[in-house]
Amino acid sequence: MAAEESVYSVCGMCSVRCPILVEKRNGEASWIMGNPHSPLKGGLCARGAAGIALERDTERPATPLIRVGERGEGKWREASWEEALDYVADRLKEITAMHGARSVLWSDRGGPFVDLHQAFMRGLGSPNYCNHDASCARNVQHAALSVLGMGRKLVAYDFRNAKHIILQTRNILEAINVAECNAVMDALDKGCKLSVIDIRSSVSASKASNFFMVRPGTDYAFNLAIIHELITKKLYQADYVAKYVDGFDALSAFVQPCTPEWAEKETGIPAERITAFAQELAESAPNVIWHPGWMVARYNDSFNVCRTAYIINALLGSVGVKGGLPLVNTPKDVGRKGLKKLVDLFPKPEEKRADGVGWKHPQFDAGPGLVNLAYDAIATGDPYPVKAYLCFRHDPLMAMPDPEALKRKWEALDLLVSVTFSWSDTAWHSDVVLPLSTYLSRESIIASKAGLKPQFFVRKRAMQPLLNTRADWEILCGLAARLSDVNPEMKKLAFTSIEDIWNYQLQDTGVSVADFAAKGFVELADAPLYREVEAYPTPSGKLEMISGKWSKANIDTLKPYTSPARPAPGEFRIAFGRVGVHTQGHTVNNPLLHEQMPENVAWMHTSRAEELGIADGDMVEVASAGKSAGRMKAFVTECIHPEALFMVHGFGHRLPVESRAIGRGVADHELMPGGLEVWDRSGGGLSLQEHFVTVRKA
Ligand SMILES: Nc1nc2c(c(=O)[nH]1)N[C@H]1C(S)=C(S)[C@@H](COP(=O)(O)OP(=O)(O)OC[C@H]3O[C@@H](n4cnc5c(=O)[nH]c(N)nc54)[C@H](O)[C@@H]3O)O[C@H]1N2
Ligand SMILES: Nc1nc2c(c(=O)[nH]1)N[C@H]1C(S)=C(S)[C@@H](COP(=O)(O)OP(=O)(O)OC[C@H]3O[C@@H](n4cnc5c(=O)[nH]c(N)nc54)[C@H](O)[C@@H]3O)O[C@H]1N2
Ligand code: SF4
Ligand SMILES: [Mo]
């Protein structure tokens, strides 16, 4: 039977947001595939294919809920949408009347649709918009800002034209972005080399011609030795460096002691392999991509690891270059007008941010701030009281270390609201749960994507929600309408249809809503555009080996290397990562994906397992600072560094409302006591792998 209708939309099973085509039968989504007009060519990852199971799952918040018991007790009363939105709006009115608009904090998952969220916060008059990124890519973002003067997403990874791709702390074939996976696989088919630097052998490592299993926490030493070799052996692109690099002499002097022999002692990688690797890199220059990483909230020097990745790219002449890291184009770069921003409906609040970003920490990107520091403001009232927290598509109790400590920091909140499409620890702990429609049953605002060919794209509703859930715009515009009696400015955001929002956004762009019908996205250029770089937006106009901006904040960007602690006898360093079939913690209860992988296992080296009398498949108990986080199966293998204990993040759920996920596997973030205070002062990221655990046979 032919499908009734197809809808172009956008996947929402992870933060990549691939373009999709949804087929419908009997008014419901019946089949999802990658958008055939896009580089996905119809393909999708396993999680993307499990979207219909999410929509049909009833083990998710089915209607708005207002807490009646204690926080986290799981006692709720069901409310209508009218009642729940009135309740939240009334509480916000009371709190802002007493403590000012700045007492409201927001966090979300970042990404292309946040204009609406930022507009809501500005409309309220609060500067405290944050995203999740202190626990993800902030160190990469700040490294990019410190070397290139611009954010990490303003350069692309031109995998298809590369001759050598280096993945460091980046498992591209399992931590999936479908278009990137396809591009890397196509490049490998054409003879591009792949090198992987990891603490364990991942699927990506299995495709590599060079695999370097470094001692956990020593990547900075590895990179400094590569820089040493590129400089002392004159393997760098001298013309490029003369034109684009600032601080080369200081860098040369700094890496002088960082010989491959020195790095061998730190990393465990033989000196001659490091020397040979540097030579190989030079042979492919400038078509080299040394990936600066994605999830790098790991160590106290992760910022420097990412910085040195950008520096190596700079020495090899690949920044700003085809087949390397070319600059992406915004609509303006291709002579087009960008979307009209919702955030521009309101003036920027003059108030300082509660997290100190932009004033106490002038070097950091004030856009999404650092949410962990905003939690400190909740707990201390310094620099001012923060009393309401709207947690949107974000589960900090799973995404941040040490959930019990975080709950204590939140005790001073008068209102905690969670907007989510699945149950989460944060939703369970909230005062109000506003159930979001899944991405199949909601629309989103139009998004703009910079790239070699910039585009606008839109998520359309493929079906009506099966449960009593609402779209993000319906929730926020509904709150805005209710807040306009005390804050007339908010009327501007009280849209009553998504078309009105889309038409507002598309004003003067030369694109209309109807233009999305053909492919689901509208390209703003006919062909990829590689722009010649004249100057970088750094203080020196060049790629900065020593960052002018960070120096002003008294931070040394050529930081001396500190050797990471070795685990005490019987201990392991905790390490974590992703797996192809799950997204973070929120797909573990998805009926289809749960079937694929119901629990995580503890990867440990054969020699360490023998020491502890543990055999492959044994149940083990994992603890940190004497506190057990639960039991899981041991996966005993030669394919991991002996100092590390690795597990996939997102398991160890404890909520009774998730019958499939409950009690399966262990939660890595419960093994990081005091972890909220352990973060990289120069890069802003949490240092989630600066923690040690013990394991015993259960
Ligand atoms: N210990 C430890 N901590 C980590 C990590 C780790 O590996 N180990 N990983 C870190 C990383 S890389 C990140 S990005 C953060 C992630 O942590 P979070 O930012 O919290 O991300 P998610 O779990 O993807 O999503 C949070 C919630 O949003 C809800 N949601 C609502 N709408 C949508 C939607 O349209 N799409 C999706 N996908 N979810 C929606 C989901 O139901 C889920 O409950 O955690 C970080 N924290
Ligand atoms: N399937 C799937 N794909 C995803 C996601 C998902 O949840 N599931 N999440 C998305 C998100 S939010 C993010 S941030 C990205 C993350 O993308 P990645 O950062 O690529 O993913 P991870 O698996 O967290 O980590 C990559 C690798 O780092 C290794 N590693 C750990 N410690 C060290 C170390 O000290 N040195 C080195 N060199 N390597 C180390 C791990 O073993 C792992 O193989 O993935 C995105 N894509
Ligand atoms: S990578 Fe997979 S889950 Fe993520 S957006 Fe793409 S298809 Fe969806
Ligand atoms: Mo992430």
The two three-digit tokens of residue 538, written as one number: 């750094």
The two three-digit tokens of residue 159, written as one number: 């995998």
Average pLDDT score over residue span 408-419: 98
- Please choose from 45, 54, 439 the residue to mutate so as to test ligand 3's pocket, defined by most ligand atoms within 8 A of CB: 45
Write out pLDDT tens, residues 270-301: 999 999 999 999 999 999 999 999 999 999 99
Shared domain check, 478 and 382:
yes
Ligand nearest to the CA of 672: 1
Q: Residue with the nearest Cα to atom 5 of ligand 3?
A: 17
Q: Judge if the beta carbon of residue 128 lies within 6 A of ligand 2.
A: no
From 296, 326, 356, give the residue that closes a domain.
326
Residues 6+ apart with CB under 8 A from 183: 39, 157, 159, 160
Ligand 3 atom closest to the Cα of residue 17 is 5
Average pLDDT score over residue span 573-596: 97
From 270, 301, 326, give the residue that closes a domain.
326
Residue 321: the pLDDT is 96
Q: Judge if the beta carbon of residue 580 lies within 6 A of ligand 2.
A: yes
Nearest-angstrom CA–CA distance, 343 and 122: 7
Count how many domains the chain has. Answer: 3
Identify whether 486 is part of a domain: yes
State in Å: Cα 202 to ligand 4 middle.
18
Q: Residue with the nearest Cα to atom 6 of ligand 3?
A: 18
Decide: 230 and 275 in contact? Cβ < 8 Å. no
Q: Is the peptide bond before 331 cis (omega within 30 degrees of 0)?
A: no
Range list of H helices, 288-359: 302-315
Identify whether 125 is part of a domain: yes
Backbone φ/ψ region at 285: left (φ over 0), alpha (ψ -120 to 50), beta: beta
Shared domain check, 251 and 176:
yes
CATH number at residue 636: 2.40.40.20
Identify whether 55 is part of a domain: no
Ramachandran angles phi, psi of 114, nearest 5°: -80, -10
Shared domain check, 340 and 291:
no
Q: Judge if the beta carbon of residue 304 lies within 6 A of ligand 2.
A: no
Q: Judge if the beta carbon of residue 378 lies within 6 A of ligand 3.
A: no
Calculate the CA 442 to chain-centre distance: 22
**pTM to 2 decimal places:** 0.98
Q: Judge if the beta carbon of residue 18 lies within 6 A of ligand 3.
A: yes
Q: Containing H/E element for 74?
A: none
Ligand 1 atom closest to the Cα of residue 649 is 7
State in Å: Cα 294 to ligand 2 middle.
7
Q: Judge if the beta carbon of residue 649 lies within 6 A of ligand 1.
A: yes
- 161 DSSP 8-state letter: G
* pLDDT winner (highest mean) among 24-28, 42-46, 91-95: 91-95
Calculate the CA 147 to chain-centre distance: 20
> Is a pLDDT exceeding 90 seen at residue 389?
yes
Residue 3: the pLDDT is 62
> Which of 477, 560, 440, 505 has its CA nearest to residue 57?
440
Residue 1: the pLDDT is 46
Q: Residue with the nearest Cα to atom 8 of ligand 3?
A: 48
Angle of CA points 231, 235, 238, to nearest 5°: 80
Q: Judge if the beta carbon of residue 575 lies within 6 A of ligand 2.
A: yes
Ramachandran angles phi, psi of 463, nearest 5°: -165, 165
Q: Judge if the beta carbon of residue 48 lies within 6 A of ligand 3.
A: yes
Shared domain check, 213 and 95:
no
State in Å: Cα 182 to ligand 3 middle.
13
Identify whether 82 is part of a domain: yes
Ligand 3 atom closest to the Cα of residue 178 is 1
From 280, 307, 326, give the residue that closes a domain.
326
Range list of H helices, 212-299: 219-232, 238-244, 248-255, 260-267, 271-284
Shared domain check, 499 and 392:
yes
Nearest-angstrom CA–CA distance, 391 and 384: 19
Q: Judge if the beta carbon of residue 583 lies within 6 A of ligand 1.
A: yes
Identify whether 503 is part of a domain: yes
Write out pLDDT tens, residues 97-153: 999 999 999 999 999 999 999 999 999 999 999 999 999 999 999 999 999 999 999
The two three-digit tokens of residue 592, written as one number: 């289809």
Residue 114: the pLDDT is 97
Shared domain check, 472 and 339:
yes
Shared domain check, 411 and 275:
no
State in Å: Cα 49 to ligand 3 middle.
9
CATH number at residue 439: 3.40.50.740
Domain limits at 176?
156-326
> Which of 358, 354, 343 has its CA nearest to residue 102?
354
Backbone φ/ψ region at 204: left (φ over 0), alpha (ψ -120 to 50), beta: alpha
Ligand nearest to the CA of 399: 1
Q: Judge if the beta carbon of residue 175 lies within 6 A of ligand 2.
A: yes
Nearest-angstrom CA–CA distance, 605 and 616: 10
Residue 650: the pLDDT is 98
Write out pLDDT tens, residues 494-519: 999 999 999 999 999 999 999 999 99
> Which of 593, 569, 567 has its CA nearest to residue 648?
593
Q: Mean pLDDT for the chain? A: 97
Nearest-angstrom CA–CA distance, 614 and 606: 9
Identify whether 545 is part of a domain: no
Residues 6+ apart with CB under 8 A from 179: 18, 38, 39, 40
Write out pLDDT tens, residues 599-639: 999 999 999 999 999 999 999 999 999 999 999 999 999 99
- Please choose from 174, 372, 434, 584 the residue to mutate so as to test ligand 1's pocket, defined by most ligand atoms within 8 A of CB: 584
> Which of 321, 324, 319 has its CA nearest to residue 143?
319
Q: Residue with the nearest Cα to atom 43 of ligand 1?
A: 586
Q: Judge if the beta carbon of residue 201 lies within 6 A of ligand 2.
A: no
DSSP 3-state of 608: helix
Identify whether 614 is part of a domain: yes
Instruction: Indicate the residue type of 161.
Output: N
Ligand nearest to the CA of 171: 2
Q: Judge if the beta carbon of residue 14 lies within 6 A of ligand 3.
A: yes
Shared domain check, 340 and 277:
no
Shared domain check, 378 and 299:
no
Identify whether 583 is part of a domain: yes
> Is a pLDDT exceeding 80 seen at residue 2?
no
State in Å: Cα 583 to ligand 1 middle.
7
pLDDT above 70 as % of the chain? 100
